[in-house]
Structure 1
Amino acid sequence: MRHDDEFLSIPNVIRLAARRFGDATALIDGDRRWTFRQVEERMVDAVRATLALGVEPGDRVGLCAPNSAEWIFAALGIHGAGAILVPLNTRFKARELSYILRTSEAAAVFASPFLGHDYIGELREADPGLPALRKTVSVLGPRGAAALTWSGFLAAGEGVPPSAAHASIDRLTPDHVADVMFTSGTTGHPKGVMLSHGQSLRTYGWMAEEYTFGASDTFLVIPPFFHCFGYKAGWLASLMHGVTVIPMPVFDAGRALDLIARERVSILLGPPTIFHDLVHHPDRRAHDLSSLRVSMTGGTTVPEPLIRAMRTDLGFDIVMSAYGLTESTALVTTTRVGDSEETVARTTGSPIPGVRVRVVAADGLDVPTGLDGEILVRGHNVTRGYWDDPDATAATIDAEGWLHTGDIGRLDDDGRLAVVDRKKEMYIVGGFNAYPAEIEKLLLDCENVQQVAVIGVPDERLGEVGCAFVVASPERTPTETEVIAWARERMANFKVPRHVRFVGSLPRNASQKVLKDELRARFTAATRDATI
């Protein structure tokens, strides 16, 4: 384990990696390749350009682009300038992005046209007075509505000496906030989780060593970089340990199999969906997958047959599972090398070093081993709070520093954690957190939708998807197709319900709270009856 004094900042780790791994390949993006030294050079260029753009220490800067080398360089440029990165979900619509940029008071936005969206152009149309639009950079491809192309951005930085970039990096400390990761909450409004350089480096420096990352490895990073899974457990952990990174902007199982075989990929982490698709791809046996070595999945319940298939059909030597949430730097517990398939499938392992986990009853007292309760977490990985939201922070992190996750779990005799219920309302669609309150709030704007309640229901491929129970207006009952089409135009794809059920009224208790357990039972019964 490296000493904490080396974990000064994310940009400093990139400088150290350049010294340690030099001319080894650090990054592959299509036909383009960079060594570790070249990644450091590109970082310094990006820091110079970010300083030239007028970004100052502490400024928040949005970044909305697909997984790519430029995403990494842009993030390092923002970090190195002393600013705070605000990763933006590329699945979000303009209204969702605008809310985050306004809430974080972003001073600039870096974006890239992707999947038919010119995010900056759409933001200008939806929110023309957005302050972040005064400084805009297109990270990849055409300029679109951005003020600067990536090459123009870098050219503007040529007037800033490299020494100024290094001096800016040198001013960073482990306690400086590196990023604000916005995560939707049960109130329906995204909240910005503040995470420091030191938290991320300490957490994922340990994880990479525990998972046996090494300089001979190559990591195909499929989880999106706007999520800790792709950003911190992905390219950051890799570059710290000399691992070659291959960003994948859009997951396609056939394309992934081609890359694994051609580039001799050895590390693959992600939600169960990607492993399910790789195992069941019709051309899997035509590809040489013998290089695959290390995997980790999480985000939802992992079926034991999938764990077995990851070993036997895909050939992984190491298969791990883990548990975390953004407020805990996205890692709390993980299984260990050598754990059985049953342990990996049925638990999320034990706490990482320096982190404590409790399972408590409603009165705050620890429950006995094997019984269910709320999961509490305390340690170096816990966020210092939500951006500009002290009330939400106080409601989530108590005076003793315990993070109240809202998740339900149980500990076994060996201290391993099993997550029983991923929050009482939240469900996970292919690795993405979906929050019913947020989706319900959006759906109430749909014409002829009078009341709505959303629940997560099982899905073979994605783990869970949304089902909306809708009370229609007296004037007209829309069709399921109409509601889904309306939602697709206005919210991220993973939030769009896959099922819509029309009901005369929503079941409620005496406090008028919707009885979602009853809705789940209705869906299960209807599904069962349909198969008989």
Structure 2
Amino acid sequence: MEVGVSLAYAAGDGSVPLLDETIGENLARTAARYPHAEAVVDVARGVRLDYPAFLSEVDGLARALLAAGVGHGDRVAVWTANRAESVVTQYATAAIGAVLVGVNPAYQQAELDHVLRHAAVSVVLAARSHRDSDYGRMLAEAGRAGWQGGAVLFDSGGWAEFLEAGRRVEESRLTAAKAAVAPDDVFCLQYTSGTTGAPKGAMITHRSALNNGLSAGRGLRLTERDRLCVCLPFFHAFGIVASNLACTTHGAAIVISAPGFDAAAVLATVERERCTALHGVPTMFIAELAHPDFDSFDLSSLRTGIMGGSPCPQDVVQAVAHRMGMSELTVGFGMSELTSLTTQTRVDDPLERRYGTVGRPLPHLEARVVDAEGRTARCGEVGELVVRGYSRMAGYWEDAEQTATAIDADGWLHTGDLATIDAGGYVQIVGRLKDMVCRGGENIYPREIEDVLHRLPDVVEAQVVGVPDPKYGEEVLAAVHLRPGSDLDEDAVRTYCREHLAYYKVPRHVVFIQDFPRTASGKVKKRELRDALAARLGAAVSG
């Protein structure tokens, strides 16, 4: 690779030592160091555990898994909305070298069947139900469809019996199981959202997850006095790594606001538990800021947090920092295949970098932007972001072909994200390769237009997609969610855009909608949105 400051390449600090231990070993050290610090608080269920009590719960579940025949490398799934048992399961599986498989609570039967069979899951620990889904019935159906594992439901007699069997496991057996775990063993299979096909299981090791969580926490300056309000799902890397492991590597508290995301519950939890940190994807923060009772909550304890998971509009970042009092808010970029966080702004970065970029690579990680031929781009040029380093997945579970597609011969993981890197090493995400709009030969990046739309005071959220057009191939469509009572119309939106964008980027179509299709982790399903709006537009034109 050509070397020079003008190239779009950046590397994190390589002098910071990486931890060479397992997640279980690290948790034991934290519990010994901070015996009086709270580890897990489940507000909805009234659970409150300090670090020694949390470690005891983890060991108890680890024993139960051993009693059930779970061994090193066996896959154990957890299928539930957020609750304390989710966190206990994460650390119990890690303690004995089993592989955690987080299952999306929103999965329907076909999706569940795929993950359970694909990962050959031995045991599922699950809630009894979620919304209108009967998990017990669905798990039984998965068995009839060919899955050969077993299931234990929380809040059932079977769960009590399961834990009781673990109490009969000798300490020496648990000790031996823990000793057999190595830092490079797989900690979890992080299944992708499946928006481009069947979900794929990214293999994440203890080393990568532990060090990524440690780096995220360092970026926030976490200590044992911090309390992180967690509203992100625990089947997602943002939840289990950048949230949970960021806390347990620093002795901070994991405070679960509610089983699922609820803006009012988040705000109330921050107030009642005096949380100092809060993570979320932009749509979560937007919902919190837009809550009608927002001004009635005392958020004065908040200091820091991470906004990430999808493109972060600069105006939203600024509003969160100022209105929520998060003076040390950071913005990050990551993905399942890179464990979680890859870049992060620092609390001492200049404001324009903190609010307008996703920061620089974390320690020991490299990032560069490449063109269509794989050549390193120049600073400021748009291309695909590729990343290399310890946090890169070990590969996709049982899928060598997809692994070879994602990771090139030099070890770079191709993210599919369009980005720029400036001379200071700061990364800016422009959009997704597959979301780029090509209008009459001009490449248009939705993120740029979305940032402009978010500056309109009446706009709660905006998403931009490309829709078919007979003349230009594609045209720009803006889907806009307005604040209640707004009288903003299509002409006003276009007029504003014309004042801030080149003519060909101005949305040809403006559609006002109340909500967007989302994944369970809060990301907008752009393909589904594009298809629905294109069909709606086609019907309107033909009608």
Alignment equivalent of 1:117, drawn from 124, 130, 133: 133
Q: Which runs of 5+ in 1 are unaligned?
A: 429-435, 437-452, 463-483, 504-518, 528-532
Q: Equivalents in 1 of 2:421, 2:226: separation in Å?
A: 34
Q: Does 1:316 align with 2:326?
A: yes
**Corresponding residue of 1:15:** 28
Q: 1:461 to 1:387 in 2, by over 3 A?
A: farther
**Corresponding residue of 1:469:** none
Q: Does 1:422 align with 2:437?
A: no
Is residue 63–residue 85 contact of structure 1 (8 Å, CA) maintained in 2?
A: yes
Which has the bigger relative contact order, CA under 8 A and spacing at least 6?
Answer: 2
In the alignment, residue 25 of structure 1 is paired with which amino acid?
E
Per the alignment, in what secondary structure is the counterpart of residue 12 of structure 1? Answer: helix
Q: Does 1:168 align with 2:168?
A: no
**Corresponding residue of 2:206:** 197
**Corresponding residue of 2:266:** 256
**Corresponding residue of 1:103:** 118
Q: Does 1:362 align with 2:372?
A: yes
**Corresponding residue of 2:416:** 406
In the alignment, residue 124 of structure 1 is paired with which amino acid?
A
Q: 1:494 to 1:126 in 2, by over 3 A?
A: farther
CA shift digits 1:223-264 (9 cap, x unpaired): 100001111111221122111111131222222221111110
Q: Does 1:240 align with 2:249?
A: yes
Alignment equivalent of 1:393, drawn from 395, 403, 406: 403
Per the alignment, in what secondary structure is the counterpart of residue 166 of structure 2? Answer: helix
Q: Does 1:208 align with 2:217?
A: yes
Q: Does 1:79 align with 2:129?
A: no
Q: 1:459 to 1:220 in 2, by over 3 A?
A: farther
**Corresponding residue of 2:163:** 154
Q: 1:168 to 1:419 in 2, by over 3 A?
A: same
Q: Does 1:500 align with 2:516?
A: no
Is residue 221–residue 246 contact of structure 1 (8 Å, CA) maintained in 2?
A: yes
**Corresponding residue of 1:89:** 104
Q: Does 1:128 align with 2:137?
A: no
Q: 1:417 to 1:259 in 2, by over 3 A?
A: same
Shift of the alpha carbon at 1:212?
0.5
CA shift digits 1:377-432 (9 cap, x unpaired): 1111111110011111111111211111121111112111111112414999xxxx
In the alignment, residue 28 of structure 2 is paired with which amino acid?
R
Q: Equivalents in 2 of 1:179, 1:36: separation in Å?
A: 22
CA shift digits 1:346-373 (9 cap, x unpaired): 2111111111111111111111111111
Q: Equivalents in 1 of 2:54, 2:477: separation in Å?
A: 42
Q: 1:64 to 1:127 in 2, by over 3 A?
A: same
Q: Equivalents in 2 of 1:385, 1:157: separation in Å?
A: 33
In the alignment, residue 321 of structure 2 is paired with which amino acid?
R
In the alignment, residue 209 of structure 2 is paired with which amino acid?
S
Shift of the alpha carbon at 1:502?
7.0
Is residue 212–residue 340 contact of structure 2 (8 Å, CA) maintained in 1?
A: no
Q: Equivalents in 2 of 1:151, 1:240: separation in Å?
A: 30
**Corresponding residue of 1:225:** 234
Alignment equivalent of 2:384, drawn from 374, 387, 390: 374
CA shift digits 1:481-520 (9 cap, x unpaired): xxx9xx99xxx997695683575xxxxxxxxxxxxxxx9x
Shift of the alpha carbon at 1:461?
8.7
Is residue 238–residue 309 contact of structure 2 (8 Å, CA) maintained in 1?
A: no
Q: 1:92 to 1:456 in 2, by over 3 A?
A: farther
Q: Equivalents in 1 of 2:53, 2:25: separation in Å?
A: 15
Q: 1:354 to 1:114 in 2, by over 3 A?
A: same
Per the alignment, in what secondary structure is the counterpart of residue 144 of structure 2? Answer: coil
Is residue 409–residue 421 contact of structure 1 (8 Å, CA) maintained in 2?
A: yes
Q: Equivalents in 2 of 1:457, 1:250: separation in Å?
A: 29
Q: Equivalents in 1 of 2:32, 2:523: separation in Å?
A: 42
Q: 1:361 to 1:266 in 2, by over 3 A?
A: same
In the alignment, residue 31 of structure 2 is paired with which amino acid?
A
In the alignment, residue 111 of structure 1 is paired with which amino acid?
A
Q: 1:350 to 1:502 in 2, by over 3 A?
A: closer
Per the normalisation by structure 2, the TM-score is 0.77
Q: 1:149 to 1:458 in 2, by over 3 A?
A: farther
**Corresponding residue of 1:475:** none
Q: Equivalents in 2 of 1:162, 1:461: separation in Å?
A: 59
Per the normalisation by structure 1, the TM-score is 0.79
Per the alignment, in what secondary structure is the counterpart of residue 193 of structure 1? Answer: strand
Is residue 96–residue 181 contact of structure 2 (8 Å, CA) maintained in 1?
A: no
Q: Equivalents in 2 of 1:219, 1:457: separation in Å?
A: 35
Q: Equivalents in 1 of 2:479, 2:105: separation in Å?
A: 25
Q: 1:377 to 1:71 in 2, by over 3 A?
A: same
Q: Does 1:180 align with 2:189?
A: yes
Q: What RMSD over aligned residues (CA atoms) do the two structures have, in Å? A: 3.0
Q: Equivalents in 2 of 1:192, 1:409: separation in Å?
A: 25
Q: Equivalents in 1 of 2:276, 2:297: separation in Å?
A: 14
Q: Equivalents in 2 of 1:502, 1:357: separation in Å?
A: 35
Per the alignment, in what secondary structure is the counterpart of residue 149 of structure 1? Answer: helix
Paired residues, what number? 451
Matches within 5 A, 1:38-57: 38-57=53-72
Shift of the alpha carbon at 1:456?
9.8
**Corresponding residue of 2:501:** none
Q: Does 1:296 align with 2:306?
A: yes
Q: Equivalents in 2 of 1:327, 1:40: separation in Å?
A: 28
Is residue 44–residue 166 contact of structure 1 (8 Å, CA) maintained in 2?
A: no
Q: Equivalents in 2 of 1:415, 1:242: separation in Å?
A: 31
Shift of the alpha carbon at 1:150?
2.5
Is residue 347–residue 354 contact of structure 2 (8 Å, CA) maintained in 1?
A: no
Q: Equivalents in 1 of 2:479, 2:270: separation in Å?
A: 30
Q: Equivalents in 1 of 2:283, 2:351: separation in Å?
A: 18
